[in-house]
């Protein structure tokens, strides 16, 4: 193998009698390098956007969310929940009521999701940092207030410094409706806008934060909640804690970590990343066909050298190894150049933000995060393709 590697290395860098062989070999190296560079850069950009989406959901979604397995609401004042509140891993335990309502502001109306939260949520939620107009405040003295998503505020044309109230309408619970008076079929509440937040379109277009007491009064609840949101202390493993909480509460409740709360979003992102990886890898396979042509022409040129080697005792296996290593080294040279160039471009993007995202409110430049597992996957995949591309002519043309 060492003799085959030595001869293959000499063939790779030695000047050929036909210049076209050098040109084709260089095209092969450049093509594989460009394909490898594209794989490294695109996968790193996808990792960056994945981090961006996770950070947005971290702002809005809790570490753990508890909902009833059956029904819509439940009481969080049981022995199991009391024990859960006292666990040292729990940083905050917030009671939540969510309900779709009709929200009216002056002559504008919209269907939104009211999220009733308690004072602990109001004091600790990261959504406070996403409020760009006003503040995250649900009470001013005895006045109950609301914090709206930016898209909801835009559709209703809400301004926090205006004096007009937000009017909330929701059907009364079954059994308390007077058919003779349809107007009495609705519960009505009044709030005043205190702030407008902007996180991501899904949240901005749907949610309005209101006091928990307001929601209970509007829905005629006593101590019921529709969910309990838990934020954990720093460094606590979410999945392990989710299993522990599920065992504590039993099958009557469903406990989800942040991934399960947005499973469809994460699966979509993983699918998109896998598809773009497969497409770029297919392009690399096509580019690797240049190795076939380069190696075939090299075998034809070196047939006199092959005769000399055979007369000196070289067998067919050694001859095939020489040309196999020659073709594979062309691919490996392209892989190394592509990975180094790709990592350098990612570094420049991280430091200087060379490529900007047009018309984006979330980020100014394309986010990039390098995962060494992705780099290793790209290196192994492209190297394997190069090995197969070199194996075919080495086996069949080399034998002839």
pLDDT tens figures, 213-244: 999 999 989 999 999 999 999 999 999 999 99
Distance CA 192, CA 186 (A): 20
Element at 301 (helix H, strand E): helix 289-301
According to DSSP, the β-strands at 186-197 and 139-140 are unpaired
Angle formed at CA 220 by CA 216 and CA 223, multiple of 5 degrees: 50
Lowest-pLDDT range, 45-54, 246-255, 314-323? Answer: 314-323
Q: Per-residue pLDDT averaged across 32-58, rounded?
A: 91
Distance CA 61, CA 54 (A): 10
Q: Is the dihedral of CA 121, 122, 124, 128 positive or negative?
A: positive
DSSP letter at 192? E
Q: Is the dihedral of CA 53, 92, 131, 158 positive or negative?
A: positive
Is the pLDDT confidence value at 154 over 90?
yes
pLDDT tens figures, 379-400: 999 999 988 888 877 666 555 5
What is the per-residue pLDDT for 364? 82
Q: Per-residue pLDDT averaged across 157-173, rounded?
A: 87
For residue 295 the two structure tokens come to 């190696």
For residue 265, the SS3 value is: helix
Q: Per-residue pLDDT averaged across 174-187, rounded?
A: 66
Percent of the chain predicted with pLDDT > 90 = 58
pLDDT tens figures, 250-290: 999 999 999 999 888 889 989 999 999 999 999 999 888 87
Using only the alpha carbons of the chain, give its radius of gyration.
Answer: 32
Integer angstrom CA distances of residue 154 from 48, 110, 122, 139, 147: 29, 11, 23, 22, 13
Integer angstrom CA distances of residue 194 from 121, 122, 126, 149, 199: 16, 13, 17, 11, 17
Reported in sequence order, the residue ranges of 29-142 that DSSP labels E, i.e. its strands, are: 64-68, 90-105, 108-117, 131-134, 139-140
Distance CA 207, CA 119 (A): 18
What is the per-residue pLDDT for 19? 64
pLDDT tens figures, 290-311: 777 777 777 777 676 676 777 7
What is the per-residue pLDDT for 97? 97
For residue 65 the two structure tokens come to 């969310």
Q: Using CB atoms within 10 A of its CB, is residue 44 exposed (0-12), middle (13-18) or buried (19+)?
A: buried
Instruction: Measure the N-to-C terminal CA separation of the chain; round to a whole number of Å.
Output: 21
Distance CA 68, CA 64 (A): 13
pTM value is 0.80
């Amino acid at each position: 193998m060492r003799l085959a590697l030595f001869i293959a290395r000499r063939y790779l860098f030695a000047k050929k009698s036909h210049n076209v062989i050098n040109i084709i070999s260089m095209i092969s190296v450049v093509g594989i390098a460009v394909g490898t560079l594209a794989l490294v850069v695109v996968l790193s950009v996808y990792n960056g956007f994945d981090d961006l989406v996770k950070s947005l959901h971290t702002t809005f979604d809790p570490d753990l969310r508890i909902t009833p397995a059956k029904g819509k609401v439940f009481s969080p004042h049981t022995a199991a929940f009391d024990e859960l509140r006292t666990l040292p891993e729990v940083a905050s335990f917030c009671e939540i009521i969510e309900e779709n309502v009709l929200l009216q502001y002056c002559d504008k109306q919209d269907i939104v999701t009211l999220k009733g939260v308690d004072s602990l949520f109001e004091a600790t939620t990261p959504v406070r940092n996403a409020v760009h107009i006003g503040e995250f405040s649900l009470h001013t003295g005895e006045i109950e207030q609301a914090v709206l998503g930016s898209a909801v505020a835009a559709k209703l044309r809400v301004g926090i410094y205006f004096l007009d109230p937000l009017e909330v309408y929701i059907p009364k619970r079954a059994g308390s409706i007077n058919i003779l008076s349809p107007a009495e079929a609705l519960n009505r509440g009044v709030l005043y806008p205190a702030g407008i937040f902007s996180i991501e379109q899904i949240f901005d277009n749907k949610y309005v934060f209101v006091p928990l007491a307001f929601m209970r009064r509007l829905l005629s609840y006593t101590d019921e909640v529709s969910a309990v949101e838990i934020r954990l202390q720093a460094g606590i493993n979410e999945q392990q804690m989710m299993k522990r909480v599920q065992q504590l509460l039993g099958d009557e409740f469903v406990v989800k970590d942040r991934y399960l709360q947005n499973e469809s979003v994460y699966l979509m992102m993983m699918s998109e990343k896998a598809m773009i990886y497969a497409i770029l890898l297919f392009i690399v396979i096509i580019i690797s066909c240049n190795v076939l042509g380069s190696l075939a022409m090299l075998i034809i040129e070196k047939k006199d050298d092959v005769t000399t080697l055979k007369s000196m005792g070289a067998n067919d296996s050694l001859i095939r190894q020489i040309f196999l290593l020659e073709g594979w080294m062309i691919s490996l040279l392209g892989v190394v150049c592509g990975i180094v160039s790709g990592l350098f471009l990612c570094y420049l993007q991280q430091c200087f933000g060379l490529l900007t995202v047009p018309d984006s409110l979330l980020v100014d430049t394309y986010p990039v995060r390098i995962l060494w597992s992705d780099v290793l996957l790209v290196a192994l995949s492209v190297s394997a393709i190069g090995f197969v591309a070199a194996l075919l002519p080495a086996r069949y043309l080399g034998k002839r």
